[in-house]
Amino acid sequence: MSPIDFCDKVSDSFKRLCDTADISYTTFMRTTEPRHAKAVSELWKTLEKKGYLYKGKHEGWYAVSDEAFYTDSQVTKVKDESTGRQLTIANESGQVVEWTVEENYKFKLSAFQDRLLQWIDDNPKAIVPENRRNEVVSWIKQGLGDLSVSRLRSRLDWGIQVPGDADHTIYVWLDALTNYMTAAGYPWRSKEDMDKSYWPANVHIVGKDIIRFHAIYWPAFLMAAGLPLPKQILAHAHWTMGKMKMSKSRGNVADPFELMDTYGPDAVRYYLVRDGGLADDADYSEEMIMRRYRKELAGQLGNLVMRSTSSTLNPAAVAPGKPAGTINPADQSLHEKLVQLPSIFEDAFENREFNRALTSITDMLAEANKHFSDNAPWELVSKGESEQQRLDTVLYYAIESCRIAGTLLQPVMPNKMNALLNRLGAPADKRTLEHTRLWETARPLGEDSAALFPKIKKSA
């Protein structure tokens, strides 16, 4: 299989995954596109013109699997127990390295050591979470050598040719990383064009295994080219299974298509955000997906929607208005949680503590369900007009709990929360963070529909 055929196959699988998971994108970037070759060549010429590229002999400990060179302080000699051979491995990845010498182009990364440290010091939230920031600072303080940014074309012809030098191919550092600017329309004709392109990114999301490239090499390239840096680099941790790295050879892998077929894409997205690790790896468990689905999604949110909008308790099919007068002591605890929730949620998101954000919602929903049960609306409805005001109050807090939760959960479960908000009669133009305060006026409910979270026919 040719390189392009293999890449097309892999790329198509990711597109299919995005479509299945309801993940939209403005650009699905392929580094084989002509516009990308143009952007990479432009950045190369800019760096060369500014004096940050030079041709020289490059030597060092190279790990093929990592696509990285390492210094003497970053490798260790070990004995292969099965063969008795002496091997040199990278401390960071454990991959075998070999001493490699070749002529290629180098980027003056060493010139940016102090500037990178200053950038991080001036912007404490530039790299999050904190443990990744500390890693990056530690690497920089160990000393930055100049970086090889090309390979001989005789050895690597799959890539973009160095402008003006047919013997060299631009290596992955400069090629792949530039795709972010390609997607934003680089090269820009003016600063105004750049500003319209939404460059730089507010949050640049990467995996922890590529933080070195994105938090050291990439900012240095941008500094050298005189371009703005991302405002924040968010490096997430990995999913493990059985406390071990997922591996096809071990068989400890999860099929995302199968999971979404069983639980639906929104429920899987919810689990990934709810239980995924940011600072530390998270251990994958389908049992936990089922537990979250049954207890939190179906049991707390779906059940409360169904009960508070049922024709038995709510025959008028309305969301009651806010109760007049002072707050009843029986409603005080839930009322306070609903008032506080939006700011707690926003603070958690702004600090990239996504699991804390979702936990704040489930905590509120637990209180809302308790409030509903404690006030026994099924008993109130049987007493007729004498308890109608109290019944309306109980329904008000139940429906508002569901509406506010549904509004906040839209980024995580867009389809399910759209259905929920439609059912609760929330206008389509009133579903943003500013609309998560308690509403005052009554409104008709939307059309009844199927259960939000139907029973999963699969044992946990």
Evaluate the omega torsion of the peptide bond into residue 377 and state whether it is cis, within 30 degrees of 0: no
pTM, to two decimals = 0.89
| E strand or H helix at 388 | helix 388-408
Sheet with 244-245: list strands edge to edge.
244-245, 239-241, 282-283
Q: Give the largest CA-CA distance in the chain.
A: 90
The answer to whether the CB of 412 falls within 8 A of the CB of 272 is: no
Backbone φ, ψ for residue 444 (5° rounding): -75, 145
- For residue 108, give the 3-state DSSP assignment: coil
- For residue 143, give the 3-state DSSP assignment: coil
Q: How far apart are CA 409 and CA 425, in angstroms?
A: 17
Q: How far apart are CA 104 and CA 200, in angstroms?
A: 30
Q: How far apart are CA 188 and CA 341, in angstroms?
A: 42
- Give pLDDT < 50 ranges for the chain: 460
pLDDT of 460 reads 46
The answer to whether the CB of 165 falls within 8 A of the CB of 156 is: no
pLDDT of 450 reads 86
User: pLDDT by residue (tens digit) across 151-171?
Assistant: 888 878 889 999 999 999 999
pLDDT of 109 reads 97
Delineate the domains of the chain, giving CATH numbers in brackets: 1-30 (no CATH), 31-52+108-236 (3.40.50.620), 57-105 (no CATH), 297-444 (1.10.730.10)
How far does the chain reach from its first CA to its final CA, in angstroms? 41
Partner residues linked to 165 by β-bridges: 162
pLDDT of 252 reads 85
pLDDT of 421 reads 98
User: pLDDT by residue (tens digit) across 16-39?
Assistant: 999 999 999 999 999 999 999 999
Q: Which tokens sit at 448?
A: 């009844």
pLDDT of 46 reads 98
